[in-house]
């Protein structure tokens, strides 16, 4: 999040809690069996608890990705909804670096909430976007966290989005990450689930696990079945897709949206939303014609 924030979308342009549920129900009728609330930060919505509890009645596995700051306020709602797995974004284990990256002094709050989740028996995944020259030296510190805690660390290659100051020299690759860990530890490969976006591993004898999301250097586009519905009701068939299908406008007109959903899926590009050789782009702000990650949400 930029220090001065981003322009807010007018409230009337966002899906209401009821619309989130009703449109999500259409997707489940078409075969979707997992829903993840993400962002931005999904828990900043005042009706977040209402949305979580309403979605919990659908025949899906429900999960959430959060920055962890508001976890303690919603943990009872998570339990009531049967939401047992959470992804938390945390790019550093150093307080000063956390403040530098996030522009927010909430390091202790996040760590305390992670401890709370683990103590309450939640499955906790920590999302770590690795950037060369920023936090790659902390990879082994994150790995050490898995020694005595049943936490799952997910290292993510730095991906290009408008406004995130990406450049190809910042990529610390899947192979770089794995080599860094294997230089110190004995690592075993774990089985990956069908359509997994991450490659899972474990340090032998450690309680937790780790994985790498190699979006840039070893993509998983051929098996990816993720779809995204943004907070203002636009459907993206890929995180990098330039095009978006407007479901909310049609829904509010009382139109059937199943055909729009199917057409959007059929237009999905083979790789990275149609961006060829994405790891060789020179400048994300110039070459990526997409929303910033902060504004994708969903």
Using one digit for the tens of pLDDT, what is the confidence trace for 84-133? 999 999 999 999 999 999 989 999 999 999 999 999 999 999 999 999 99
Q: Which pLDDT score, from 0 to 100, does residue 7 have?
A: 73
CB neighbours of residue 179 within 10 Å: 10
Has this prediction a pTM greater than 0.85?
yes
19 confidence band (pLDDT: 50, 70, 90) = very high
- Helix axis angle, 17-29 to 48-55, nearest 10°: 20
Segment 210-221 mean pLDDT: 92
- Distance (Å, rounded) from C-alpha 150 to C-alpha 226? 26
User: What's the start-to-end Cα distance of the chain, in Å?
Assistant: 16
CB neighbours of residue 102 within 10 Å: 19
Segment 126-148 mean pLDDT: 97
Higher pLDDT, 162 or 78: 78
Q: Which of 46, 96, 39 is nearest to 68 (CA)?
A: 39
- Distance (Å, rounded) from C-alpha 90 to C-alpha 164? 16
Q: Percent of the chain having pLDDT more than 70?
A: 89
- Main-chain dihedrals φ then ψ at residue 127, nearest 5 degrees: -90, 120
Q: Which pLDDT score, from 0 to 100, does residue 8 have?
A: 76
- Distance (Å, rounded) from C-alpha 273 to C-alpha 243? 9
Q: Which of 11, 24, 29, 26 is nearest to 53 (CA)?
A: 24
At 27, is the secondary structure helix, strand, or coil?
Answer: helix
Higher pLDDT, 216 or 246: 246
Q: Which of 262, 244, 254 is nearest to 19 (CA)?
A: 254
Per the CB < 8 A criterion, the answer to whether 129 and 166 are in contact is no
Q: Which pLDDT score, from 0 to 100, does residue 41 have?
A: 93
Q: Which pLDDT score, from 0 to 100, does residue 159 have?
A: 85
Domain residue spans of the chain: 17-216+276-285
Q: Which pLDDT score, from 0 to 100, does residue 295 have?
A: 58
216 confidence band (pLDDT: 50, 70, 90) = confident
- Distance (Å, rounded) from C-alpha 216 to C-alpha 271? 11
Kindly report the CATH number that applies to the domain delimited by 17-216+276-285.
Answer: 3.20.20.70
- Distance (Å, rounded) from C-alpha 290 to C-alpha 293? 9
Q: Which pLDDT score, from 0 to 100, does residue 283 have?
A: 56
Q: Give me 98's structure tokens.
A: 């956390």
Q: What is the pLDDT of residues 237-296, one digit of tens each?
A: 998 888 899 999 999 999 999 999 999 999 999 887 777 666 666 655 455 555 555 556
């Amino acid at each position: 999040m930029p220090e001065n924030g981003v322009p807010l979308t007018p409230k009337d342009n966002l899906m209401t809690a009821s619309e989130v549920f009703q449109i999500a129900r259409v997707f489940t009728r078409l075969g979707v069996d997992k829903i993840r609330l993400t962002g931005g930060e999904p828990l900043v919505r005042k009706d977040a608890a209402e949305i979580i509890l309403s979605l919990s009645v659908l025949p899906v596995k429900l999960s959430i990705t959060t920055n962890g700051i508001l976890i303690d306020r919603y943990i009872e709602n998570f339990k009531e909804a049967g939401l047992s797995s959470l992804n938390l974004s945390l790019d550093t284990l150093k307080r000063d670096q956390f403040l530098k990256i996030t522009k927010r002094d909430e390091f202790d709050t996040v760590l305390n909430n992670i401890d709370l989740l683990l103590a309450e028996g939640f499955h906790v995944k920590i999302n770590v976007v690795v950037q060369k020259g920023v936090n790659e030296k902390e990879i082994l510190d994150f790995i050490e966290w898995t020694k005595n805690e049943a936490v799952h660390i997910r290292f993510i290659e730095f991906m290009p989005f408008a406004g995130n100051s990406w450049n190809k020299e910042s990529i610390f690759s899947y192979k770089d990450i794995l080599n860094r860990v294997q230089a110190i530890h004995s690592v075993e490969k774990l089985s990956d689930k069908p359509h997994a976006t991450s490659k899972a591993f474990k340090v032998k004898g450690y309680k937790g696990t780790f994985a790498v999301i190699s979006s840039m250097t070893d993509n998983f586009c051929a098996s990816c079945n993720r779809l995204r519905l943004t907070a203002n009701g636009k459907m993206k068939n890929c995180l990098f897709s330039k095009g978006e299908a407007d479901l909310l406008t049609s829904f509010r007109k009382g139109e059937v949206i199943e055909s729009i959903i199917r057409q959007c899926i059929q237009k999905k590009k083979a790789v990275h939303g149609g961006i060829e050789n994405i790891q060789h782009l020179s400048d994300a702000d110039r070459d990526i014609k997409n929303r910033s990650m902060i504004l994708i949400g969903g």
